[in-house]
Amino acid sequence: MKKNIKTIKQWLLPILIITIGLFFSPSTNHAEEKQNNNPAGATGFTYSITFPDNQVKKDLGYFKLQMEPGKNQQISIALSNPGTEKVTIDVKLNGAKTNQNGVIEYGESTIKNDPSLPFDFTNIVTGPETVELAPGETKNLDLTIQMPETSFDGVIAGGIQLMRANQNGTTSNEGGSKIINQYAYVIGVVLQESEKVLAPNLELNSVKAGQSNYRNAIFINYSNVMAAYLNDMTVEVQIKPKGKDTVLYERKQTAMRMAPNSFIDFPVSMNGERMVAGDYVADILVTSGDKKWAWTKDFTISDKDANKFNERDVGLVQEKGLDWKLIALIVAGVLVLIILIFVIIRILRKKKQEKELALKKERKKKKQQGSSNGKSSKKKD
């Protein structure tokens, strides 16, 4: 038995060393090394902006232009390919949106336009969808701005996204999920007709049950209905059962922003709990500097929604969702492992007993032979 354990230890150490080597060996692949050596970095190209005369501030990294109603203007971005391969650049124009975290997105987004948006950025700024650059080539991306005929106060905001076409990206595993990292440049564009600054104003749209990252949550949806940025926003929400003062769920977040004429779907997590149908009240307070917006909103979670979201919540152990086949396989596997261990132990014990019995027989035989030899010698004397 001791010999077997010693043999296992002798094999275990090299296996552990090989395993550790696999986990901790350098993971940088050839594609990443190639990107690091590429003078254009991960995107495969570079850009530079030439600001027109009507740029409000020259020291900004984005376009902020003051134009007249109905005016047509062209802006240019110089694109360069310092590499040795041909590069195709996808160009996408996007209106500024506000995501769930209170961060303004100027890149491609699935967030819809707010109903309060008077002029869609994608209808005002137009340009080519792709630009091709030969190795070492520099080319201007020309975009056309057509201001609305109707005059307006405030700003129209959006972004120009530049991304290399057919980009495979690098992959990383975070929290058990596979994430594909792709790289793009996003250049902001802010258009205005005057220097008049509007005060932002918020309106509550709805409070309803939903899911954030496949986990149960309550969403507070409200809009910034003015053509002005809202900065340094703090949101505080408490969810209570209707007619009671008990706070079931709450959330507070600071340092948030909202884009002009955009909405936010602010999620309040249910902390991994099951969603329960019933009537609830949401107390909401939004502040920005000395401005405050406070709402109290009744809402209902139906049995249908509660069941639907509970079945989809990845953090919940679903009674109906238990995989009994998998459980049976695991139990069977454990039983087989236990039986194998038991059989191996029995075999080792049996071998050990047989060995000990053989040794005893051998000793007994030698002892008998010694006794018989002693008697024969006495007879000779």
Are the C-beta atoms of residues 76 and 141 closer than 8 Å to each other? Answer: yes
CA separation for the pair 308, 313 (Å, rounded): 9
For residues 38 and 362, the model is more confident at 362
> Domain spanning 32-173+180-192: which superfamily?
Immunoglobulins (2.60.40.10)
Q: Give the strands of the sheet with 46-50, arranged side by side.
A: 46-50, 72-80, 138-146, 125-126
pLDDT at 94: 97
- Between 337 and 146, name the one with better pLDDT: 146
Pairing label, strands 63-66, 184-192: parallel
Residue 26 has pLDDT above 70, yes or no: no
Confidence of residue 366 (pLDDT cuts 50, 70, 90): confident
How high is the pLDDT of residue 328?
78
Task: Give the lowest-confidence range in 14-18, 57-61, 99-103, 264-268.
Answer: 14-18
Give CA–CA dist 111/115, Å, rounded. Answer: 12
13-22, 198-207, 224-233: lowest mean pLDDT where?
A: 13-22
Asked whether the domain spanning 202-316 has the same topology as the one spanning 32-173+180-192, the reply is yes
> What does the pLDDT average to over 194-218?
95
How is residue 75 annotated by DSSP? E
- Residue 195's pLDDT is 87
Q: What does DSSP assign to residue 199?
A: P
Token pair for 295? 């709402």
Contact of 144 with 72, CB cutoff 8 Å: yes
Q: Evaluate if residue 96 carries a pLDDT over 60.
A: yes
Please tell me the predicted confidence (pLDDT) of residue 207.
98
Residue closest to 137 by CA, chosen among 60, 83, 210 = 83
- Please give the average per-residue pLDDT across 138-160, as a whole number: 96
The helix or strand, by DSSP H or E, that contains position 348, with its residue range, turns out to be helix 324-380
What's the mean pLDDT in 272-281?
96
pLDDT at 4 over 50: no
Q: Residue 329: its pLDDT value, please?
A: 80
pLDDT tens, 32-48?
Answer: 434 445 666 778 899 99
**What does the pLDDT look like over 295-326, one tens digit per residue?**
999 999 999 999 999 999 998 865 455 556 67
Q: Does domain 202-316 fall into CATH 2.60.40.10?
A: yes
Least confident of 3-7, 109-113, 141-145, 237-241: 3-7
**Least confidently predicted of 2-6, 175-179, 218-222:** 2-6
Integer distance in angstroms from the first to the last C-alpha of the chain? 49
Phi, psi of 110 (to 5 degrees): -90, 0
Q: What is the structure's pLDDT at 222?
A: 98
Q: How many CB atoms lie within 10 A of CB 203?
A: 14
Q: Region 164-176: what's the mean pLDDT?
A: 65
The arithmetic mean of pLDDT across residues 103-108, rounded, is 96
* pTM of this structure: 0.72
Average pLDDT of the chain? 84
- Dmax (CA) of the chain: 141
CB atoms near residue 214 (< 10 Å): 10
Lowest pLDDT segment from 10-24, 143-157, 270-284, 359-373: 10-24
Residue 125's nearest CA partner among 60, 61, 184, 72 is 72
Q: How confident is the model at residue 379 (pLDDT cuts 50, 70, 90)?
A: low
At 327-339, the pLDDT tens digits run 778 888 888 889 9
The pLDDT of residue 360? 76
Listed by start position, the domains of the chain span 32-173+180-192, 202-316
